[in-house]
A and B are shown apart, each in its own frame.
Chain A
Amino acid sequence: MIHLLSATVHQITPEGIIDRYPNSYNHFVLPFVIGITFILIYLFIGLIRILYHLSGEDRIKLLKSLFNPKTAWKNIKDIFCDCLLHTKIWKRKPLLGYMHSAIAFGWFLLIVVGHIEVWLFAPRHLSGLTEGSLYYPIFYRFFIWINPAHETLRGSVFFFIMDFLLLYVLSGIGLAMFKRVRSIALGMRHTTKPSLADRIALYCLWLIFPLRLLAEGFTADLSGGGFLTRPLNWVFRAFFGNELNFLPTWWAYSICLGLFFIAMPFSRYMHILTEPLLILFRNAGLKVRHPRKGFAEAEIYACSSCGLCLDACPMNAQKKNLKYSSVYFIRFLRRHNKKKTKEIAEKCLMCGKCYALCPVGVNSPAIRRAIRETQNNSINCNYSYLDTYAGKAAEVLSDKTRGKILYFAGCMSHLTPKIIKSMETILQASGQEYEFMDRNEGICCGRPLMLAGRTDAARKTIEANTKIIKDSGCTILLLSCPICLKIFKEEYSLKGIEVIHYTQFIDRLIKEGKLKVSKSSSAIVYHDPCELGRGCGIYEEPRNVLRAVAELKKASKEKDESICCGYSLGTLTLDEKDKAKIAESSVSSLMAEDPEEIVTACPMCYRAIRSKAEVPVKDFAEIVCERIENNDKN
């Protein structure tokens, strides 16, 4: 109140601001200056390294993307939402989101508003290094003296804003400390074990803001202050009397900042600076080509080690297997521990949940695949028979398939003949003209090979299948296996042919009135297969259909949080018992609302869940088939 009154009475120009130190220098700034210099040099070298390891093609792609207004806008938006506001965490766990945004966005604003303040009131200190522009805006409150009689409204607004922002950050830090003690309160069951550098950086980070509050509190009678620092100053004066006590606090503040910056490159906090780079790379459409260098390096350093993937990872069905989660995988990658990274890369189910839930969007499954790619070069198989086979198969199909649907069941549907039988019944009942691409034999879609890192072999099967499909002249390629669907969508170039999963296709048939189904009162739950949901983003079509045939219940984790059935083709080394444990945890999530039946839309999931569930398990096509209304009642 006093400020406001004095401000209105006295002049508005900031003439009351005087540098307390003629050179605007004091020894206490040294730790900070050393720290910030170190981190800037480190960042510069790191950036050059990463750019150097990108392929030439990728560098051009990146450069082009920076000048494309659409991607540029997306870059800005993503950096603002993901790095500062942490909207992804907000959406899932509001309290955790608040904590992250308070620290990140609050700190960011403190720096920005602090600089604006200096730019307005002491602009010469931003003009060059000689005037201490590296540290001056950070320690602004130390260096100045403001005649209380000359305080302006503009100045008081800044006092208020800065104190408010400090409070905002402090609330985040408070939550962070609380999280260390009780993580579950913020919605996390498991958290990561911090490394030594993580600890140093963490404790510095915790101390920086309380120390800033103390330091600015000590000087608030000289530099001026807002609703936090000013009362603090009164308290201090009442207790300590001599205002010269404050120098050690400023030293401590500076040391913590310096130490934080020095520990940063070796700690998880490197993600703060790497994430924007990752966003630029991702938006430019770059892909992981090497498991450790270039794009992968940006991903590795962008990992915030927050541990959200620990709760996400299906391996958490057993505590001993938590070590296979992405966060530890990335940590071992960062430390160049080849033995461990290979082990984890091969163990992973590649269900993609860690990637889907990662607040930073680190695509660790892609890095795992890149590692697998480097491991399997010794196996040489002969695929020469594929060409002759494809030629023959194409000949058989080409005349009769033109303009029709081509149904490809794939290896896994062949192991679950009920799916194929149901599919044929549905196609016939809805009067569809179709041909069966692999009734007696067929070529693998290539996805299992791709997942195993055997890209070249996968390319061969892709080539052969592409020939058969293109020569057939079909207009729609219908698939009943989401494992096939994913690779057909991502790696095949089938222009003019619609690649469609049976869940989408049946949904369409029902909507167009070509297939009539009746609704039963039985309660069912739907399991989202990894390859269909997180892999291809198909969540709603199967649910639309299931709601039309039964009462659809919810699983405790579903859609992009669905728990892998455990029998994914993605894992190369996970043993049967571990798979069974994961299947059990998947089933227990599905049983949350006591459904009478479980339905899924993937032959692998179907087999896995059926081996563990107490209630009947049905394939999507099977349940639709049971509910087809007989059209030919005459």
Chain B
Amino acid sequence: MKNNILVIGGGPAGLEASSILSRMGYNVILAEKEKLLGGHLAKWDRLFPDQVPAKEVLNDMLGRMDGVKCFTETKVNSINLLENSYNAMLSNGITVLADAVLLASGFDLFKAEKKEEYGYGIYEGVLTNADLEKAFQEGKKSSPAPRAIGFVHCVGSRDEKAGNPACSKVCCATAVKQAIETKELYPEADVYCFYMDLRMFGRHYEDLYLRAQKSGIRFIRGRVSEVAETAEGRLLVKAEDTLSSKPLKVTLDRLVLMAGMRPSKTGHDVGRQLNLSIEDDGFFSAKDGLQNLQKSKLPGFFYAGACTGPKTLPDTLHEARSAAMEIDRYIKENFRK
């Protein structure tokens, strides 16, 4: 008899783990709250550092999903631990009795309207990183072409007042990537990046940064303090250039906010029912942070991806694979004696 495994979340982590577990011979049931699989990846146009189209990556993943029972537009209504298996009622009316559960609920983007001083939802020219990717996907090009565009790093990240002192890990590279793409789209435009410090930690990330500088993107070290609208409807951005120790004012047509990663609300809904512990930053706490990153405090309940903190796509995929291995080991030890 095949063991049932429930995977919650159909983003990169959920997809990768499901396809592997399915190939290992398990009966995998995947619940995704949205209409389409892929999570944030499906909403992205190209990926850093090599600007690979997100669609290609996602299609590869989806191609390996044969054998996995995927329920989209489905939430986990309730879940509880029986003697040694989990009983989950899904919102589509199906009840799953699973021997192991993988939570891959990922992240929500920080709600940029919370930083009202940046004017998201108030001024037309202010958009988020996700909005920009969507525009890229749709191939939209504004006309007249914007004359000046700014990118604000760390929106809702490394910001205690916004309730998140942690770094979201991916925004620096994303901002540089998006700045390059914007510059490519509007070569005449002035492009600015307002950063605190650039965390270009991965392989090829520095190359991307160098490429951006060479293409004429201006990097200003300092946070944006406030955004106002000029009489002509452009954006007056006030910031501080901490390298020259001077306040700075620039008038822009477009301002892109690099909204950071916050814990997924749907993930929390599941966690609450099982009393899973959450750390101060709002993300789930793994059994330990070095050796048991995929395990939770409950037997047979595993984590993969950004539900335990911000992660890049490769990190997430690694975690999905390790989670699949951990689940396989767990089932073999507990159910097949």
Contacts and interface: CB of A to CB of B under 8 A. Distances in A.
A576 B160 contact: yes
A439 B163 contact: no
A611 B117 contact: no
B206 to A, nearest CB: 33
Interface in A592-625: 607, 610-611
A414 B228 contact: yes
A contacts with B: majority SS = helix
B229 interface: yes
Interface residues of A, number: 14
A580 B163 CA distance: 9
Interface stretch (A8-16, A364-372, A416-424): A416-424
Given A439-B228, A576-B160, A580-B163, A417 B117 contact: yes
Contacts of A440: 228, 236, 249
Given A440-B236, A576-B161, A611-B163, A417 B227 contact: yes
A415 interface: yes
B24 interface: no
Nearest to A606: B116
Nearest to A420: B228
Interface string A408-442: 00000011111011000000000000000001100
A414 B161 CA distance: 17
A611 B111 CA distance: 11
A417 B122 contact: yes
Contacts of B228: 414, 417, 420, 439-440
Contacts of B122: 417-418, 421
15 contacts: A414-B226, A416-B116, A417-B116, A417-B117, A417-B122, A417-B123, A417-B227, A417-B228, A418-B116, A420-B228, A440-B228, A440-B236, A440-B249, A576-B161, A611-B114
B161 A417 contact: no
Contact of A415 (B116, B160, B236): B116
Interface string A387-423: 0000000000000000000000000001111101100
Contacts of A415: 116-117, 226
Contacts of A416: 116-117
Interface in B80-132: 114, 116-117, 119, 122-123
B114 A417 contact: no
B237 to A, nearest CB: 12
A45 B103 CA distance: 74
Contacts of A414: 117, 226, 228
Contacts of A611: 114, 163
Contacts of A439: 228
Nearest to B226: A414
B173 to A, nearest CB: 28
Contacts of B123: 417
Interface in B128-176: 160-161, 163
Contacts of B236: 440
B45 to A, nearest CB: 29
Interface residues of B, number: 15
Interface string B9-24: 0000000000000000
A440 B116 CA distance: 17
A414 B237 CA distance: 12
Given A416-B116, A440-B249, 17 more contacts: A414-B226, A414-B228, A415-B226, A417-B116, A417-B117, A417-B122, A417-B123, A417-B229, A418-B116, A421-B122, A439-B228, A440-B236, A576-B163, A607-B116, A610-B114, A611-B114, A611-B163
Contacts of B161: 576
A576 B114 CA distance: 16
Interface in A328-385: none
A576 B281 CA distance: 13
Contacts of A580: 163
Interface string A555-587: 000000000000000000000100010000000
A569 to B, nearest CB: 13
B200 to A, nearest CB: 28
Nearest to B123: A417
Contacts of B116: 415-418, 607
A413 to B, nearest CB: 10
A417 B119 contact: yes
B177 to A, nearest CB: 29
Nearest to B117: A415
B270 to A, nearest CB: 20
A252 B114 CA distance: 68
A189 B227 CA distance: 45
Contacts of A610: 114
Contacts of B227: 417
A440 B114 CA distance: 22
Nearest to A414: B226
B118 to A, nearest CB: 9
A30 to B, nearest CB: 64
A611 B115 CA distance: 10
A264 to B, nearest CB: 47
Nearest to B247: A441
A607 B116 CA distance: 8
Nearest to B121: A418
Nearest to A567: B161
Nearest to A411: B226
A110 B123 CA distance: 72
A627 to B, nearest CB: 19
Contacts of A576: 160-161, 163
A428 to B, nearest CB: 14
Going nearest first, the 7 A-B pairs with the smallest beta carbon separation are: A415-B117, A576-B160, A416-B116, A414-B226, A417-B122, A417-B119, A415-B226
B248 to A, nearest CB: 12
Nearest to A415: B117
A619 to B, nearest CB: 10
Interface in B224-247: 226-229, 236
A611 B116 CA distance: 11
A576 B163 CA distance: 8
A325 to B, nearest CB: 25
A418 B249 CA distance: 20
Interface in B195-253: 226-229, 236, 249
B259 to A, nearest CB: 16
B123 to A, nearest CB: 7
Nearest to B165: A576
A580 B114 CA distance: 15
Contacts of A418: 116, 122
Nearest to B227: A417
A383 B169 CA distance: 39
A238 B322 CA distance: 92
Contacts of B119: 417
A459 to B, nearest CB: 23
A514 B226 CA distance: 32
A183 B161 CA distance: 37
A505 B105 CA distance: 49
B143 to A, nearest CB: 27
Interface string B249-293: 100000000000000000000000000000000000000000000
A439 B226 CA distance: 12
B152 to A, nearest CB: 14
Nearest to A619: B116
Interface in B3-51: none
A580 B165 CA distance: 14
A414 B226 CA distance: 7
A440 B230 CA distance: 8
A611 B164 CA distance: 12
Contacts of B226: 414-415, 417
A439 B116 CA distance: 17
Interface in A438-479: 439-440
Contacts of B229: 417
A470 to B, nearest CB: 26
A610 B249 CA distance: 28
Nearest to A612: B163
A431 B114 CA distance: 32
A582 to B, nearest CB: 14
B234 to A, nearest CB: 12
